[in-house]
Amino acid sequence: MKPCSWNLIFSETVITCDGFVQHLSCDSGVIHVQSATCGRTSSQICSVGRPQSEMANVQCSIDIPAVSKRCNGQRECELNTQGLAPQDPCYGTYKYYTTIYICIPAETSVTCHGGYSYLKCENGKIQINAANYGRTDKITCSEGRPSEPLQNTNCYSPNALAPVSKSCNGLESCEVFATHTVFTDPCVGIYKYLAISYFCVQPAVRDLLKLTATPQTPRQ
């Protein structure tokens, strides 16, 4: 894990063999995925115990937008790679997932269903980084709730970013109602919450968001 700094941001590359769990995390700040792919561009990575025929194709790659959707704006994110790719980019080849991400300085807000998210910038204007109305863990907004409505932790709203951005971007403060009337219900019967990460945008922050540092040594 790489610490987040206002002055210097390093990207980290995580490689996960197909079928295993990919883990992204930030000591401070939140995850911002720069790229995520599935395939094979090396005959050596994720090759232990595999027949040579599954390593031969090293021109195999497909983008995985689900990684950005599920991980951006979170401090930690775990993804089961099984079935994560939208399609098989090279049938018969054993694949691995390569994700490059940075930890960026951002404010966070979590609001249980039925409440209002209040966002505020003392300096600068609000710029929404990521938003999700759903559930990605069993702990958040769980107090006093039975266990059954907390079980689905793979609950992501398909349209959460747009209404939050429309309500808040460019303002010094805003509020967003965490309810089904604003967001599509992604998992009926599950108790949901609205999680938002955002920046108080100043020129220095804009520079950081555009920064693409040299990737660190991949870990397998």
Kindly list the structural domains of the chain, giving each domain's residue range(s) and its CATH number in brackets, ordered by start: 11-104 (2.60.120.740), 107-207 (2.60.120.740)
Which among 172, 19, 193 has a CA at the least distance from the CA of 114?
Answer: 193
Q: Determine contact, residues 193/111, Cβ cutoff 8 Å.
A: yes
- Report the distance separating Cα 214 and Cα 200, nearest Å: 26
Evaluate if pTM is beyond 0.75.
Answer: no
Per the document, the length of the chain is: 220
Q: pLDDT tens-digit profile of 62-119? A: 999 989 988 988 888 988 898 888 899 999 999 999 999 999 888 889 999 999 999 9
